[in-house]
Amino acid sequence: MGINVDTTASLSRRQAHWEKSSSIRSRPRRVLRNVSPDEHFYPIARQPIALHPLVKALGTAARQRILLQSLYKFLNDIAFVETRVVSEVSLAIANDQMPGPFPAQLRADVLTVVIDEAFHAHVAIDFMEQVQRLTGVTPLSLPTTLTVEQAIRNALPKLPADLHIALKTISVCIAENSVTKDLIDVHREDGLNETFHAVNGDHMIDEVRHCLIFGDVLRHLWSVLTLAQRRAIGAVLPDFLGDYLNLSLQKQFDIDILADVGLDARQIETVIAATHLDQDLATYRTVNPIVDKVVNFLAESGVLDDPEIRKAFEDRRLVDS
């Protein structure tokens, strides 16, 4: 079935905002012309290995190289999540391929997300290529998957086939909520390259709107699922979150970066042990607010209203009993 979204002649308030403020409608191409030695391409606070004494001892050039490679992974992740996970789900919603019907206006809103996300991927790849040309530094081997994709792959076999698209949709709702927070945190960092700051700011403005759209998507989806369907999905969500927030891909990339700047195997092990703590999700909750943010998002959308589902989260110490 082709895309068929019925809308009135007048734009909704949300669509009118998209026409006026979306980056694809209102922002110029961001061109990287020079790099100041006093600025960096990625927030130091988001790359703890750059702050380790063994790395600091290597000097400023090594730190900048680490941050540059971290930028490449950040941009690569954006291109992947936007064109694969988010677009797949958004198109399924627009095509009415969900467990229940979605309002025409919400499907129209989601179509603007499809347009935005393809543009975000284009901007990310374009900026990565600009950075490579200006710095002469090529990316290391970048991950070919994302933690959200791994989490989805692990969760789908636990559910009947007719709930796969529902689980993927909930995953995207969670991811879009998390990405928005990440972009806001990056935007607040001082000392960033001016052009990257502008690229990130453009993306952030779009993602704030997407976050609101996918909040509506999650609430509507949850309302059309039966109690049995909700409970089936609710039972796998704690494990999904554990996989989604797992840092194994980042850990391996950090190992590769540290080797690239010249640390030996023992030094790398020391840095990784200090910056990547082995801990379960409940313990991770005590040190990173992203866990509570995601769980609160689910709660506000009605996902934890059922006592049986809430107990599954309590048993994993993701909510207080």
Q: Mean pLDDT throughout 243-257?
A: 94
**Residues 248, 276 contacting (CB under 8 angstroms):** no
CB neighbours (10 Å) of residue 59? 10
pLDDT tens digits for 65-86? 999 999 999 999 999 888 888 9
pLDDT given at position 318 = 93
**Residues 277, 295 contacting (CB under 8 angstroms):** no
**For the chain, percent of residues with pLDDT exceeding 70:** 97
If we measure between CA atoms, which residue out of 45, 32, 41 comes closest to residue 65? 41
pTM equals: 0.90
Residue recorded with tokens 């970048």? 142
If we measure between CA atoms, which residue out of 29, 35, 33, 69 comes closest to residue 49? 69
Does 9 have pLDDT greater than 60?
Answer: no
Does 282 have pLDDT greater than 90?
Answer: no
pLDDT given at position 3 = 54
pLDDT tens digits for 140-194? 999 999 999 999 999 999 999 999 999 999 999 999 988 887 788 887 788 888 9
* Partner residues linked to 40 by β-bridges: 192
CA distances, 72 to each of 130, 137, 219, 300 (Å): 11, 10, 34, 34
Question: Residue-wise over 104-116: b if at least 16 C-beta within 10 A, else e?
Answer: ebbbbbbbbbbbb
Does 256 have pLDDT greater than 50?
Answer: yes
